[in-house]
Amino acid sequence: MGTFHTTYDNWDANLYDSKHSFVSKYGNSLVELLGPKKGDKILDLGCGTGDLTHAIFKNGVEIVGVDKSENMIEQAIRKYPDIPFKVQDATNLDFYNEFDAVFSNATLHWVQPASQALQSIYRSLKKGGRFVAEFGGKGNVQTITNEITYQIEAAGFEFRKAQFPWFYPSIAEYSTLMEAAGFRVTIAQHYDRPTLLDGENGLKNWINMFGSQLFEGIPEHTKNQIILNVEKNLKEILFSEKNWTADYKRIRVVGVKY
Ligand code: BEZ
């Protein structure tokens, strides 16, 4: 998962584990693409509460998990005491030529500037090392975020661009940034991955977990009303058979350090 929030640590690690474990579940296919080999030294960038770090660790690799959120790292240490976890910022990693691979699932859309993160990742890798990542791409959850911003403005509040916490590049944009950082891009994909948000409250839970920055400066009762309006307007498009489906669009990339 990914938790490089731009301003402060507002991550609720328990809520994340209880209601949003799908993030790690979807990451299992990225672990397959990583192909961890016994003896590899791997960095899990944006490890959250450590579930995928642990899945990779079980392959007999040496692994370090880092995340910007102290709450997430404390929970990861509690869950997996045999794995080293550290609080670190993706744009300023404290590693130099150390890793055979940097792995990152559902994190890099939180990280800006992306160019600085890519330079930091590149520095962390050994020569020939691989960078394997997946995160939100252009158009990610746009149906939801467009409706939220529409409802915020309809409620009489200004929505500033700076409140949008995510970076959702196209593969052309991101490959260009990777190449500028020094990577040879070997895989770049942009694909739809409709994502089930469990239960009647799935959309509300997702907005409360991930979207708090969108509502900065808006009183709690107005925020709740806005979320009710968002649910009402999106029900026909995104709700069926007791569950919500979010319009996730993923970018998946692999790059090699020359
Ligand atoms: C994502 O994984 O694409 C994502 C998760 C939370 C908020 C926004 C995007």
**Digit-coded pLDDT (tens) for 66-99:** 999 999 999 999 999 999 999 999 999 999 999 9
For CA atoms 182, 188, 194, 199, give the dihedral sign.
negative
Residue 93 in domain: yes
Residue 74 in domain: yes
166 lines ligand 1 (CB under 6 A): yes
Residues 255 and 124: their CA atoms lie apart, in Å, by 13
CATH of the domain at 123: 3.40.50.150
Q: In which band, very low, low, confident or very high, does the pLDDT at 4 lie, cut at 50, 70 and 90?
A: very low
Residue 126 in domain: yes
Q: What mean pLDDT, rounded, does the chain reach?
A: 94
User: Does pLDDT of 1 surpass 60?
Assistant: no
How many CB atoms sit inside 10 A of residue 71's CB?
Answer: 19
The answer to whether the predicted template modeling score (pTM) of the entire model surpasses 0.75 is yes
Residue 216 in domain: no
**For position 8, what pLDDT does the model report?**
55
User: Does pLDDT of 3 surpass 50?
Assistant: no
Substitution candidate for ligand 1 out of 24, 134, 248, 250 with most atoms within 8 A of CB: 248
Q: Residues 213-228: pLDDT tens digits?
A: 999 999 999 999 999 9
140 lines ligand 1 (CB under 6 A): yes
- Residue 134's domain spans which residues? 13-141+165-197+247-257
Residue 239 in domain: no
Number of domains in the chain: 1
